[in-house]
Amino acid sequence: MESRERYIHTLSYLATCMSMLCGGTTSLFATYGSSFSEVLGFSQYETNLVASLGDYAHYMSAPLFGYLSTRKGPTLVIQSAGFLMFVGYIGLSYAFDNFGTPYERANHYVGTMSVLFALVGVGSKAAYMSSMATAARNFKHSRYSGIALGIPLSLYGLSTFVFSSVKARWFEGDQTPARYLAFMAVVSAVAHLVASKFVVLKGDPSAASVQIARKKTADDDTVQAENANGGSGSPVTDSIEMKETRRRRMTVSAPNDDNDKDTNAPVPDTSSRQESPVTPPQTQPSERSVIHRFALDPVAWCLLLGLICFSGPGLAFVNNCGTMVRAMSHGTTLSEEQIGRYKDKIVATQSFFSFSSRLAVGYLSDLWRTRLRLPRSGMLVLAALLMIHAQNTAARVTQLEDLHLLAILIGVSMGSVFTLAPTITSETWGADNFGVCWGIITLAPAIGGHMCNLIFGSNWDQGLVRIAGRLGPDTPQDKVFCDNECFVPAFLATTKISYIGLFFFFVVVSLPRFLALWKRHI
């Protein structure tokens, strides 16, 4: 029966991996984000507003789904993820088929498109939180918890690479992304419904297959016990007698232990002593007490602030790299279809290196902690330094080929931090509290992404106005193009934000050591 349970939990782990692979598709926005301006006539600020509100919905829903994954189990949450992503993607597909045309300023449907993309984001976060909470609880006693969480996290990063490659192969010739978005709706729904049928928690009594296996094992043990007793006496009676014998033995040996400790100690009068009540078993702390202790922990606040300042600059590139490709391609001889493929290639490159770094850092962080005896959080500082270098590189982009290096740097740094941070959360505040604690910390990318996306969109629109002013008022609107002048100021600002993130990550590493040293000397 042990092999049966191992088989069930292996299927469960594979189910969480499939859910993560098909759930991390919000970054695909970069592959069709430029269609908001080309097909619907959105300004860059409005396009970034849609992306930012989608990110807000994506990350703000994390505490809810973390709580539901802990209290209700992962099955219902994964099913909800499939439904929400289906509705969001199919709604976006319908919108691109039936809403407006370029440069008709009367109807922009910003609110509608924001809600639809927000549904995709919420569904993606539901899949993420249920899968990560399940993996954290199932591997909480494993010495390889880093790689156990790193594999599904790496697949979450690989998701964009897989589906952007699919788009480049089968959907690039389409004039609108409507058919591609309908494909994503069907894939998301089917994958999550299938995954929900197999995912289970270790020790979860609601898992019928595991419960049956354990019941059969218990029945076999009962039969063996009866055979060992020759059919006389029940196992319950034997267990009571064994406990009573052990209690008497401990009672007889207790005075000897006391005499060994202190032979001159007075013998207490036990004639009138009442029997002390039995201490009830300790229970798990409630979610309210967990959140209270978590909210008062300065390390939690520093990790939250560090992720705000780290993830914002990274998401500014992830959401806008397709727009940057189009800006840098105006001086080239690439056709529209070639530009689209190049855009998908940049998105796929960022996703692939995010996947690779998540997988590698999950393994390396285990070695970092077990072999080198160094805090896992120290690797956050290295990732922050890489993000600063990436932002400086973005501010110096002069040609289309520079975006490849930038995609690699952003992918590695983002993948590293979003593997380290959930593992650190699980180890610091407990795997059983992971859903609630990581759900709170993961609000950080929503805040940072919204802030930096709006910085990018505002600088882009200001640059477009400056270019249009130089070309003259008689220039048609569809002939005014942006270049690197439109986004370099945005990355100069996000570089400064990255430095603030580095400071908070350094505090996350040093503060627990400082507090431990201070307590030792008081």
67 in a structural domain: yes
Reference 196, options 78, 84, 85; nearest CA is 78
311 in a structural domain: yes
Reference 501, options 239, 350, 315, 273; nearest CA is 315
- Tally Cβ neighbours within 10 Å of residue 174: 15
Task: Indicate the number of domains in the chain.
Answer: 1
The two tokens of residue 432 are 């059983």
Instruction: State the pLDDT at residue 273.
Output: 40
β strands within 259-344, DSSP E: none
What region, left, alpha or beta, does residue 393 occupy, with left being phi > 0 and alpha being psi -120 to 50 degrees?
Answer: alpha
192 in a structural domain: yes
Instruction: State the pLDDT at residue 399.
Output: 85
CATH code, domain with 491: 1.20.1250.20
381 near 302, Cβ under 8 Å? no
Reference 136, options 392, 480, 439, 339; nearest CA is 439
Handedness of CA 330, 333, 337, 342 (dihedral sign): negative
Q: Which residue has the tokens 């703000």?
A: 60
- Per DSSP, the residues of 222-250 read HHHHHHHTTT-S-HHHHHHHHHHHHHHHH
The two tokens of residue 317 are 């590139």
Instruction: State the pLDDT at residue 279.
Output: 45
Spatial separation of the C-alpha atoms in residues 251 and 113, rounded to whole Å:
73
254 in a structural domain: no
pLDDT by 10-residue block (mean), the chain, 522 residues? 73 87 85 82 81 80 81 86 94 84 56 90 89 78 68 81 86 84 94 88 51 51 50 44 45 40 43 44 56 82 93 88 83 77 84 84 78 82 94 89 90 89 83 76 85 88 83 69 85 94 93 78 66
The model's pTM is 0.64
Which burial class, exposed, middle or buried, applies to 505 when counting CB atoms under 10 A from its CB (0-12, 13-18, 19+)?
buried
* Cβ-based neighbours of 193, under 8 Å, separated by 6 or more: 79, 82
220 in a structural domain: no
Angle (deg, nearest 10), helices 402-429 and 145-170: 150
24 near 160, Cβ under 8 Å? yes
Instruction: State the pLDDT at residue 154.
Output: 78
The residue range of the domain holding 13 is: 2-206+289-521
Instruction: State the pLDDT at residue 180.
Output: 92
Instruction: State the pLDDT at residue 335.
Output: 79
253 in a structural domain: no
Q: Which residue has the tokens 């919420």?
A: 122
Reference 376, options 141, 59, 135, 143; nearest CA is 143
- The distance of Cα 110 from the centroid of its chain, to the nearest Å, equals 27
214 in a structural domain: no
Reference 124, options 134, 113, 132, 136; nearest CA is 132
323 in a structural domain: yes
The number of residues making up the chain comes to 522
